[in-house]
Amino acid sequence: MRNAPKYKIIKKLEAGGMAEVFCAELESIEGFKKRVAIKRVLPHLSQHKEFIAMFLDEARLSLKFNHANVVQTFDIGVADNTYFITMEYVDGLNLKRILEYLQSKGMFMDPLYCAFIANEMCKGLAYAHNLKDVDGRPLGVVHRDVSPPNVLISRQGEVKLVDFGLAKATSQLEHTEPGIIKGKFSYLSPEAAWGREVDHRADIFSAGILFWEMLAGGRKLFLGKTDYDTVMLVREAKVPPITMINRNAPKEFEAILNRALQPDPTRRYQSAAEMGRDITSAMFKLGRAVSNFDIAGFVEEILAKEALAPSKEPDIVDLLIEEELARLTSLDADGNIFSDGSKPISFAEVSGLLDSSGGLEDPRKWILEMDSDKESPHKGLKLGAEGSGWKEVKVHDLGKQKKEIAQSPKSPPAFPVDLKKEERKEKEGSKYAVWFILLFMALIGLGLAYYFLIFQR
């Protein structure tokens, strides 16, 4: 029986409607330590069998990934029936923060930096799309959520994609947890927005959106006043020429965007590798080399200007989380997770989960749901009316319950209070104050008398 690794929580990185992400330190034998990221499913979601089944299936699939442009998954496990994934920790920024920084400063990123990041994204997508099983059969991996939070850029200038396929698991929760966003609507492909079948070309469209937004200084390509309006804009897929927004954007990049953002998948790039090759050729024609070192310098510049506060000391909530995560147990080769030998939920236990094509989720179900309300199309989404591109909905605050535990009530007085005694003390205090005032006035009078006697002679 192998020793299970233990994790020391350093800080919380992100929190969303499905999970929380922590920066942690893996501690093993002989003082071995490694910085990792832990994505933990919110505890109250563990009761959803369909969601957990898909979450575990996608997590196991991610264990097969081994590429420089994809965040590596190390382990899957459970703690008190709450599932988690241990992943590679990327020290740096996600693309969401970079785009927000550009927009807040009203500035544009170097177009060649944008192209470099887009090309690295294409490398990661091309690897995942072409992944095969041990028998050489294509796995048919589609990310489904190529959006700014899922593109990580390290202090060393590395570009890595995270959360492959987890969008399928999240979408399952919409039937029972309407507060959780089905998708990041601004980054859908038109076919997904229409509820049609999607394949790897949907990821290419999303990558094109990110390339456009980087060149546009963080401006959203598809963003309406409401989520419904945003989906309508994606369906229309009208793309303003990037040169109208950024005069420094090369015309070579305009041509790449025109092809990547075609509404019809058959007229789009047919592979991420094809798109990546065109980006590389365009950069070569522009005659200036850009490398990881340039991107690293850009990331460091943003971090320095943000003047990020140093990590605070762990509070009582962090310590409670650490105690819980210390009990994290990895799934073994047989899938056992509990001391009694029981196994995690499998797809066989979930009746009717797979559709006729073998897919896990038919997007037409929720697109039709969105269109179903004839009186008000906004109601079909079952979402707030605020305009949003990328957003997260926090449906559970892990610390809330534990803070209530940590805040102990004030201790009562050791002895009953004698009210009459307290009243006498107040009266005595007032009497002393009057005597002090009279004494002070007498001293002033003596001082004046002395002055007239000495100086008026």
Residues that are catalytic = 145
User: What type of residue sits at position 53?
Assistant: A
Whether residue 239 contacts residue 186, with contact meaning beta carbons closer than 8 Å, is answered with: no
Backbone phi, then psi, for 222, in 5-degree steps? -120, 105
- For the chain, the maximum distance between any two Cα atoms, rounded to a whole number of angstroms, is 121
Exposed / middle / buried, residue 321 (Cβ in 10 Å: 0-12, 13-18, 19+): buried
By residue count, the chain amounts to 457
**Which helix (H) or strand (E) element contains residue 94?**
strand 92-94
Cβ-based burial of 373 (10 A; exposed 0-12, middle 13-18, buried ≥19): middle
Fill in the amino acid letter for 134: V
| Cα torsion angle, 223, 224, 225, 227, sign | negative
Tell me the C-alpha distance between 210 and 207, whole Å.
5
Cβ atoms of 343 and 18 within 8 Å: the answer is: no
337: left (phi over 0), alpha (psi -120 to 50) or beta: alpha
DSSP output for 354-404: S-TTS-S--THHHHHHHH--SS-TTGGGTS-SS--SS-------HHHHHHH
Residue whose token pair is 């008026």: 456
- Number of CB atoms found within 10 A of residue 31's CB: 6
CB 209 within 8 A of CB 222: yes
What are 244-249's contacts with CB under 8 Å, separation 24+?
Answer: 245/215, 245/216, 245/217, 245/219, 246/108, 246/111, 246/215, 246/216, 246/217, 248/108, 248/111, 249/111, 249/215
Sequence letter at residue 200: H
